Amino acid sequence: MLRGLVTAAIGIVIIVLPGLTLVTTMLIVGIGLIIDAAIIALPILLGRTTPHLWKIVLTREVVQILAGLIFIFHPVLGIEIVLVLLGLLVLFRGILELIVLTEAQTTVHHRRWLLVIALAFIVVGIFTITGVSLGTEVLIDLVGVYILIEGLTHILSAFRRQSFQEELAQYETAILSHEGVSLPSSLTQLDKPQPRTKRSFLFPHLDTDKYRKIVILTPHPDDLEGFVGGLAYRLSGEVISVIFSGGDKGVWSKEYSVMETDDYIRVRLEESDTAALLLGVDEINYLGYLDRSVPMDEDSIRKVLAQFEHHQPDLVVSFEYLKRFTPYPHPDHLATANTVRHAVARYNADHALDYVVVSTLIPNSFLDVSGVRRIKLQALACHTTQADLNSLIFPFLEKLFSHLWGIFVGADYAEGYRRIDITRMREKLDNAQ
């Protein structure tokens, strides 16, 4: 509690005190660092506390005292250090909030706040590290606000810890006296899952029962499962998968590195066949391109048009074609997306046609996949040639975006899509020619 009060007081002084210079601010910060370190280190040195990690804690406080001395006696150097360290700390804090957003079992309301906080920290951190001119007054206020937030965090943590200890003490006393008493609220909240609230979509959602035939066009054999798996499983109509590239360069295991290209592509397409059984995909068509060699030309557009004319879809699903609005601008993804875009623009359907893109940062339609995400991941696991990639990188990114889109629709997990106005898209393409 004392640590939090002192830290918050220093933050308030820096924000409120008029006419502060950067040198004076560094002096205050240096004194604050030394006081903060002393509050933690003195009980350890006096033997009044025995934390398990006392050596690490004591080392950290010694380093903090040295940093405080630098800020006091070399304020100019301290300013440069503060800019870098503060930027890194704020950026790391934002990344940490994103990890909490992804991994923690929190309510949708709490995830929304985590998202806002994470984005704010990341933006401020990047601005500070890259040396964007914030101005002296803004920089001083930024330092003060950060210190104030740290102090308030310590104070809140102390209150929560004290409240929990009081509840736990009452519980233990009641147990010893054989009195019937309920568990402390802190424990019951941890042990008992909260009831699921009724879903309410704040944004348009995809009606999976509306479509009779769906064509999903993806760059690589495992992209349907990873990006569109929930939608593919939920669709009640006939689902056709069109794969542009055989993914022959996606070799993550020595076992497959000795295989011929055609043999490896065959293995990857067989994995797609296995995954299709889980997701209910009715047909898979491979267009014959190699990895990182997918073109965006007249031939590729004609191949996609042939698929449309043969299957007569009422829903086309592919990838975001605007490079600045996709989190994964892989060349095959962009080539596939723009090929499909031009093919849809040329396709003269004699029935209603909807066109949506995935892997987009600006979705306007969502699909709650909370109940089917497990099946989606099982289908992705069928791609054993990609086991290393899918076990290290993709799960976190998929979970992050699924949680993120879930925030917008009040669901645990969701897939986000951008519904394209085909008429407007045609007009833009015509004007660009």
> Could you tell me where the DSSP H helices lie in 177-260?
185-191, 223-234, 254-257
- Give the mean pLDDT of 103-113: 60
Query: Domain map of the chain by residue range?
Result: 2-166, 213-432
CA–CA separation, 228 vs 268, rounded Å?
A: 18
User: What's the N-to-C CA distance of the chain in angstroms?
Assistant: 67
Beta strand 315-319 with 365-368: parallel, antiparallel or unpaired? unpaired
Residue 134 has pLDDT above 70, yes or no: no
- Give the mean pLDDT of 314-322: 97
Residue 392 has pLDDT above 50, yes or no: yes
Written as six digits, the tokens of 201 are 């979509």
| Model confidence band, residue 433 (pLDDT cutoffs 50, 70, 90) | confident
- Greatest alpha-carbon pair distance for the chain in Å reads 85
pLDDT for residue 126: 77
| Model confidence band, residue 191 (pLDDT cutoffs 50, 70, 90) | very low
Residue type, 391: S
Residue 334: Cβ-neighbour burial (10 angstroms; 0-12, 13-18, 19+)? buried
Mean pLDDT of the chain: 80
CA–CA separation, 254 vs 192, rounded Å?
A: 46
Secondary structure (3-state) at 318 = strand
pLDDT for residue 40: 75
Tens of pLDDT, residue by residue over 273-294, are 999 999 999 999 999 999 999 9
| Model confidence band, residue 133 (pLDDT cutoffs 50, 70, 90) | low
| Selection from 102, 95, 93 nearest residue 394 by Cα | 102
Residue 64 has pLDDT above 90, yes or no: no
Tens of pLDDT, residue by residue over 373-390, are 999 999 999 999 987 765
CATH number assigned to the domain with residue range 213-432, chosen from the 4 options 3.30.2130.10, 3.40.50.970, 3.40.50.10320, 1.10.1040.10: 3.40.50.10320
pLDDT for residue 75: 73
Sign of the Cα torsion 363, 367, 373, 378 reads negative
- The sheet carrying 213-218 orders its strands as 283-289, 238-245, 213-218, 315-319, 354-358, 414-419, 365-368
